[in-house]
Amino acid sequence: MSHPIRSEQEEQFEQLCLAVDAGDVHEQEAIEYFETQSHEPDFDAAPWLDIALYHAPEVARGIIDFVSPEDRERSDIAQTIADNLDISYSDDECERFAQTIRFALANGVPVDLDVVLDGCHRALDDLDTWASDDAKAPLVQLRDTVLELHGQY
């Protein structure tokens, strides 16, 4: 990915989102941190939204109304998910990705479903020679969900 270097504040927000995902921090703490930082002059909500969408969807639900339509348009969550499917393909992760994609689409965040499909296919190809059908099943389910969504959007 060709993302710019993250600010210290973005890194802190990512750590908060990871802590929310682990159950160590309540999502309100991350939401409040987002709100506080959103008033800073160089704040760019798009990468912050992607961080929340990827790591802590409950935080994304709490901040989505603070993210402008223009910033939502610049989301790169499809690429982020696609780039990580080779290492993140458990039942829980793939189900979370499907929920994240549905949430994003329902809230005006564009998701390039073709990019996610390509990520699914790359990950399935990587697993094809050594993984069991059970190991590949979550990715197959995610791929099927994305194909279904593709028909709706």
pTM of the full structure: 0.91
Residue with tokens 């402008």: 68
CA-wise closest residue to 13 among 3, 39, 32, 57: 32
Chain segment 78-126, per-residue pLDDT in tens: 999 999 998 888 999 999 999 999 999 999 999 999 999 999 999 999 9
The pLDDT score that the predictor gives to residue 152 is 79
Average pLDDT for 128-147? 94
Q: Residues 84, 88, 91, 92: is their CA dihedral positive or negative? A: negative
Chain segment 23-69, per-residue pLDDT in tens: 999 999 999 999 999 999 899 999 999 999 999 999 999 999 999 99
The span from the CA of 36 to the CA of 118, in Å, is 37
